[in-house]
Amino acid sequence: MKPTRLAFTLAAFCLMVAGRAAEPSPSITLEGTLAIGEFYGPPNYGENPSGDRIEHSLFLQLPATPTTQLGNSDALVKLGPDAQGTYFVQVVVHDPERAAAEKAIGHRVQIVGDPFEPLTGHHRSPLLIDVKSLKPIDAWSW
């Protein structure tokens, strides 16, 4: 399976799990470079590399922490200091944004979405964002 297709499949899985989160946080806007991360997956998540499946996930690599970009980080307070200070945000992309996301890998983007905390072993960062919109940008706006 191609890394981008696998990343989007995992993103869909993340979305289903995110739907079970307690309370949705207000939407936030973050800017960064869209990238694909590669990780060991089931059955042992890296403890037996020769037998573990490789997973690919989309990430937003941030030039500055979410707290710096947002100014007012009230939307992230309940997610804790790790989420507020991270430089990598796992991205959950829906079908309407899928084509734009594939084209934007390796480029600067602005993402608007709902932040949430990791809920499963497939969630690889302290902050995830359920994407509502994704667009390419030339320069940071914050």
CATH number for the region 3-45+53-136 comes to 2.40.50
Which tokens belong to 25?
């946080």
* Residue among 2, 14, 1, 3 nearest 93 (CA): 14
3-state secondary structure of 14: helix
Length reported for the chain: 142
Phi, psi of 135 (to 5 degrees): -145, 145
The residue type found at 21 is A
Assess whether pLDDT exceeds 60 at residue 31: yes
Is pTM beyond 0.85? Reply is no
Question: What's the pLDDT band for 113 if we cut at 50, 70, 90?
Answer: very high
DSSP code of residue 107: S
The arithmetic mean of pLDDT across residues 111-127, rounded, is 91
Distance, in Å, from the CA atom of 70 to the CA atom of 29, rounded to the nearest integer, reads: 7
3-state secondary structure of 99: helix
Backbone dihedral region for residue 123 (phi beyond 0: left; psi -120 to 50: alpha; all else: beta):
beta
Q: What pLDDT, on a 0 to 100 scale, did the predictor assign at position 24?
A: 64
Q: In this predicted model, which residue has the larger pLDDT, 119 or 90?
A: 90
Domain ranges of the chain: 3-45+53-136
Question: What's the pLDDT band for 20 if we cut at 50, 70, 90?
Answer: very low
